[in-house]
Amino acid sequence: MNYLKAFIEDCKYYDIAQIEVKNILKYLKKDYSILDIGAGIGRLSFPLSKYTKEIIALDNNPKLIAYFKKHKRKNINFICMNIKDYIKTNNNFNMYILAWPVIDFKLINLIEKHLPKDSIFILITCHNDSDYETIINKLTNKYFRKESNNKKRFLEKFTKKLIVIEKQDINTEYIYPDEKTAFRVLKNAINLWFNIKFNKKLENKLKEIINKHKQNKKIIFGEKIYFYVLKKKLK
C-alpha cells in the first residue's frame, strides 16, 4: 500500500467524534488565520476550515501535494515546505496548531522565537500508555521506550518555554468497523509510521491484540491525548 493511502486510512478511523476539533473550536474565531504545522492530509485543517477565515496547511512531504490538489477548499492553502524555513518569514497567524508532531527539539526554540505575542499555539500529542500507542510495545517489545522518553522531554521543554493557558488530557478512540478492517489499517499504519515489516508471527500477534479490543463487532482502541493551549511569554 502506498504512503498516501495508508495515511488516509489511518486517519479515517481515528477520532470520529472529532473531540480534538471540538476542543480547538473553543479558541477559534471566525476571522482567524491558522497555520497547521505538519498538517498531513489535513485531518484538522479540513473540519476547522468551516469555522474560520483561512488556513495554511503546511507539510514538507511532497507526496501530500496531490492530495490537496484533489481535495480543494477555498480557504485552505497547502504549502509544501519545512516549518523551519517557512516560519522565519511567515509568522502572523492568530492560531498555530502542531498536532501529532514528529518529535524535533529544534522546533521548540524556533516556535518560541517566531510566535507572535497575541497568538494561540495548540499542541496535541498522544500519551505513551494508551491502548493504541502500546501496540508497538506489544508487538516488538523494544522500539517504543526511546520514543516515549523523547516525547516526555519534548513536552516538558515546550511547555516551559511558553505560557500554558490550558492543559487537558482528553480521551479519543480509534474505531474500526470489524477485525478485518482493523488488521489491514493497523498493519499498514504501523508499517508506515514505524517501518515495521510484518511476518506471519507478527501478523498473528497483531490479530491477537485486535481480538482483545473487540466490542460487539467493532474494534476499539482508546487513545489518550495531551491537549495544550500555549502563548508566548512576555519578557
DSSP conformational letter for 64? G
Stretch binding ligand SAM (CB under 6 A), from 35-43, 87-95, 111-119, 212-220: 35-43
Q: How far is the CB of 52 from ligand SAM (least distance, A)?
A: 17
Q: How far is the CB of 152 from ligand SAM (least distance, A)?
A: 17
Residue with cell 516551559: 160
DSSP conformational letter for 128? S
Q: How far is the CB of 85 from ligand SAM (least distance, A)?
A: 8
Q: What angle is formed at CA 98 by the lines to CA 45 and CA 135, rounded to 5 degrees?
A: 95
Answer yes or no: are the C-beta atoms of 107 and 133 closer than 8 Å: no
Q: Of 34, 35, 39, 186, which lies in the binding site for ligand SAM, with binding defined by CB under 6 A?
A: 39
Counting every residue written for the chain, the total comes to 235
Q: How far is the CB of 212 from ligand SAM (least distance, A)?
A: 25
Does residue number 234 form part of the binding site for ligand SAM (CB under 6 A)? no
Which CB sits closer to ligand SAM, 81 or 163?
Answer: 81
164 vs 181: CA distance, rounded Å: 39
| All three cell numbers of 42 | 489535513
Site string for ligand SAM, 83-112 (x = CB under 6 A): xx--------------xx-x----------
Q: How far is the CB of 132 from ligand SAM (least distance, A)?
A: 13
94 vs 97: CA distance, rounded Å: 10
DSSP conformational letter for 98? E
Q: Of 13, 32, 38, 213, which lies in the binding site for ligand SAM, with binding defined by CB under 6 A?
A: 38
**Alpha helices by DSSP H, the chain:** 3-12, 19-25, 45-48, 65-70, 83-89, 106-114, 135-140, 144-161, 179-194, 200-212
Which CB sits closer to ligand SAM, 10 or 94?
Answer: 10
Site residues (CB under 6 A) for ligand SAM? 11, 38-40, 43-44, 58-61, 82-84, 99-100, 102
